[in-house]
């Protein structure tokens, strides 16, 4: 399929709000060997056992070392393999110098990237998955193309050949991924321009939905997995029933009570409990505001009601899920 199928979804992803939570106990071993890390963790965690970090939090951090640590905590909430984190920290000054030099340079080129990879090869545990995160959060570009995160999850999407746009990367692997990184930046920048969005939106889309979406073939199934503002349950029965905003800010079917929580332009989460017909006094209907959100199941009791993010594929999945709602 082509990635522009999900143009609206991609453009509306809340990229900078994406956050992850890590426990302080995950990093205590490193603290025991790196005194400055313990002091920094005292500042970051305070009296809390956990720390939640969003992309925006990292971008707003001005102190380089703190930005570096937040990037690691955001990207590796359960810790890094073996002693990789400690080994990386022992080269922190080298890493900081490379990032500072690139950040201060007017227009880093392919030569600069090759020098970076040559230097980082001497740092055990610091692979592309990690340093692409650092390049992204330190707002570094190569050949005028903003750096993006390229990790195993995206590589798996490319290898699966789910999206024809990334066919040039179908043979990407651990041995050639660094050589293909700048090509990845170039292609993603072009796609982002074509979709009138940002490269980071495409990156998050691939990370979140990459291998978890399947185009619905309307000739074989009953309804699409993209919400059109009407009640999916009624559509499965061949009926068109409007969904109206209720007092809880959910869209509720006027016929079945089925409820949908909207993440505008991103997801339409079908809730696992029905409404009570308590609508807002001023009518507001789903078909008046829908933006092609992806129908998704509720898998958590707290907003946004879909975490981890998953989506329905075939119509049968939607129908099977709805039958479980009382």
Residue count of the chain, please give it. Answer: 326
Percent of the chain at pLDDT > 90 equals 79
Residue 76 lies in a domain: yes
Asked if the structure places residue 72 within a domain, the reply is: yes
Examine the domain organization and report whether 184 and 263 are in the same domain. Answer: no
The reported pLDDT for the residue numbered 308 is: 85
Residue 30 predicted with pLDDT over 60: yes
Residue 250 structure tokens? 């959910």
Which residue is listed with tokens 């029965």?
Answer: 237
- Gyration radius of the chain over CA positions: 23
Q: What is the pLDDT of residue 214?
A: 66
* Any domain includes 217: no
pLDDT, residue 240, reads 85
Contact 223, 217 (CB under 8 A): no
Task: Report the pLDDT value the prediction gives residue 90, as an integer from 0 to 100.
Answer: 95
Task: Determine, yes or no, domain membership for 142.
Answer: yes
Q: How many domains does the chain have?
A: 2
Average pLDDT, the chain: 92
CB 273 within 8 Å of CB 325: yes
How does pLDDT run across 64-100, given as a tens digit for each residue?
A: 999 999 999 999 999 999 999 999 999 999 999 999 9
Which range has the worst mean pLDDT, 61-65, 184-188, 259-263, 284-288? 284-288
Query: In terms of domains, do 152 and 7 share one?
Result: yes
The answer on 137 and 12 residing in a single domain is yes
HSE-CB at 34 with a 13 A cutoff on CA atoms is 20
Would you say residue 218 lies in a domain?
A: no
By mean pLDDT, which of 215-219, 234-238, 265-269 is the weakest?
215-219
CA–CA distances in Å: residue 93 to residues 41, 89, 150: 18, 8, 23
219 pLDDT higher than 60: no
pTM check: above 0.75: no
Residues 32 and 166 in one domain: yes
Between 123 and 216, where is the model more confident? Answer: 123
Is a pLDDT exceeding 90 seen at residue 2? no
Domain that holds residue 255: 232-322
Task: Flag whether 225 is in a domain.
Answer: no
Same domain, 294 and 181: no
**Residue 237's pLDDT band (cuts 50, 70, 90):** confident
Are the CB atoms for 25 and 49 separated by under 8 Å? yes
pLDDT for the residue 220? 44
Q: For 145, phi and psi rounded to 5 degrees?
A: -110, 120
Given a contact cutoff of 8 angstroms between Cβ atoms, the answer to whether 58 and 74 are in contact is yes
pLDDT at residue 136 tops 90: yes
Q: Let me know if residue 137 belongs to a domain.
A: yes
- The pLDDT confidence band at residue 292, using thresholds 50, 70 and 90, is confident
φ, ψ (nearest 5 deg) of residue 78: -95, 10
pLDDT at 218 over 90: no
């Amino acid at each position: 399929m082509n990635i522009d199928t999900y143009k609206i979804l991609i453009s509306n992803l809340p990229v900078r709000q994406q956050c992850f939570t890590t426990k302080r106990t995950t990093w205590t071993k490193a603290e025991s060997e790196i005194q400055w890390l313990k002091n920094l963790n005292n500042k970051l965690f305070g009296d809390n056992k956990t720390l939640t970090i969003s992309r925006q939090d990292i971008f707003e951090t001005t102190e380089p070392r703190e930005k570096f640590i937040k990037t690691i905590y955001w990207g590796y909430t359960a810790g890094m393999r073996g002693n990789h984190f400690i080994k990386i920290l022992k080269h922190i000054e080298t890493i900081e110098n490379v990032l500072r030099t690139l950040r201060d340079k007017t227009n880093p080129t392919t030569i600069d990237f090759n020098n970076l990879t040559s230097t980082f090869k001497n740092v055990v545990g610091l692979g592309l998955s990690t340093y692409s995160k650092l390049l992204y959060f330190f707002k570094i570009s190569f050949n005028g193309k903003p750096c993006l995160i390229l990790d195993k999850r995206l590589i798996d999407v490319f290898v699966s050949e789910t999206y024809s746009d990334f066919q040039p990367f179908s043979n990407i692997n651990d041995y050639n991924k660094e050589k293909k990184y700048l090509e990845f930046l170039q292609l993603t920048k072009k796609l982002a321009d074509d979709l009138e969005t940002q490269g980071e939106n495409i990156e998050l889309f691939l990370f979140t939905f990459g291998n978890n979406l399947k185009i619905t073939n309307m000739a074989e199934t009953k309804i699409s997995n993209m919400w059109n503002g009407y009640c999916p349950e009624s559509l499965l029965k061949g009926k068109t029933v409007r969904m109206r905003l209720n007092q809880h800010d959910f869209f509720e079917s006027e016929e079945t009570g089925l409820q949908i929580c909207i993440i505008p332009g991103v997801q339409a989460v079908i809730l696992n409990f029905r409404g009570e017909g308590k609508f807002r006094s001023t009518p507001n209907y789903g078909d008046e505001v829908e933006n092609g959100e992806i129908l998704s199941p509720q898998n958590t009791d707290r907003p946004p009601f879909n975490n981890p993010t998953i989506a329905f594929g075939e119509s049968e999945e939607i129908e099977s899920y709805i039958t479980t709602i009382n």
